[in-house]
A and B are shown apart, each in its own frame.
Chain A
Amino acid sequence: AQSVSQHNHHVILSEAASLELGCNYSYGGTVNLFWYVQYPGQHLQLLLKYFSGDPLVKGIKGFEAEFIKSKFSFNLRKPSVQWSDTAEYFCAVNSGGSNYKLTFGKGTLLTVNP
């Protein structure tokens, strides 16, 4: 069974600081990887996704993530965070193909102080 680990439960940064949120998954085969964001009081929205090709993917709002297959990782990065990035971030994985079952990590709450 696939699983997803997000190492940081809560990250607190000041505006303009750089961000990296860790995500590791356990699954030996082909995977599709996703980062979702949940702003306070809102539903989850897709931030970015990877399924093949360039392992460095760029998403909305200046976020990017790098797939490192050898490390089973898909870390999320942003060079300079803003107060409006305060949200909870979820890494998710499915095993691709016709497998629709998406497994989520427990999430990382990001607080950006102005």
Chain B
Amino acid sequence: DAGVIQSPRHEVTEMGQEVTLRCKPISGHNSLFWYRQTMMRGLELLIYFNNNVPIDDSGMPEDRFSAKMPNASFSTLKIQPSEPRDSAVYFCASMPPGTGYSPLHFGNGTRLTVT
């Protein structure tokens, strides 16, 4: 079990540039979550997918953020255009089939810095 794999680990970009974060969930997990972690706001749920379908995107900050899950083994979170306030650690997590009793399995995160 390789765990949840995120790439890149670190991303530094200039304001206005497009940023794409990638996530490979654990094989067999059918729920995928994107979280953002900042000092000020803690861990915020941005969006989650179940069976590749977005179920709740109410946490997505604004139209600059978009997320896709084209298949069960891959998801992207895109920010276009990026702004300095988007600087944060972005975590992807997956969950096996079942109910809300199941714990999340987190990736190592992508630390995004927008200058």
Do B106 and A43 touch across chains, with their CB atoms under 8 A apart? yes
Report yes or no: A32 in contact with B42, Cβ–Cβ below 8 A: no
Q: Are A101 and B42 in contact (CB under 8 A)?
A: no
| B43 engages A97 (CB within 8 Å) | no
Interface secondary structure of A, over-half rule: loop
- Range of interface residues on B (Cβ < 8 Å): 20 to 34
CA distance A105 to B50 in the complex (A): 23
| List of A residues within 8 angstroms of B95 by Cβ | 100
Q: In the complex, A32 Cα to B5 Cα: how many Å?
A: 26
Q: Which residue of A lies closest to B6 (CB)?
A: A43
CA distance A83 to B107 in the complex (A): 25
| List of B residues within 8 angstroms of A51 by Cβ | 101
B99 with A97: CB separation less than 8 A:
yes
Whether B104 sits at the interface, judged by CB under 8 Å, is yes
A90 touches B43 (CB 8 A): yes
Q: Which residues of chain B (84-115) have a CB below 8 Å from chain A?
A: 91, 93, 95, 99-101, 103-104, 106-109
B13 vs chain A, min Cβ distance (A): 22
Contact with B along A59-101 (1 / 0, CB 8 A): 0000000000000000000000000000000100011111111
Shortest CB distance B70–A (Å)? 20
Closest to B56 in A: A101
Chain A residues engaging chain B, CB cutoff 8 angstroms: 32, 34, 36, 42-46, 49, 51, 90, 94-107
10 interchain pairs, CB-CB under 8 A? A42-B108, A43-B91, A46-B104, A51-B101, A97-B99, A98-B99, A98-B100, A100-B55, A101-B45, A102-B33
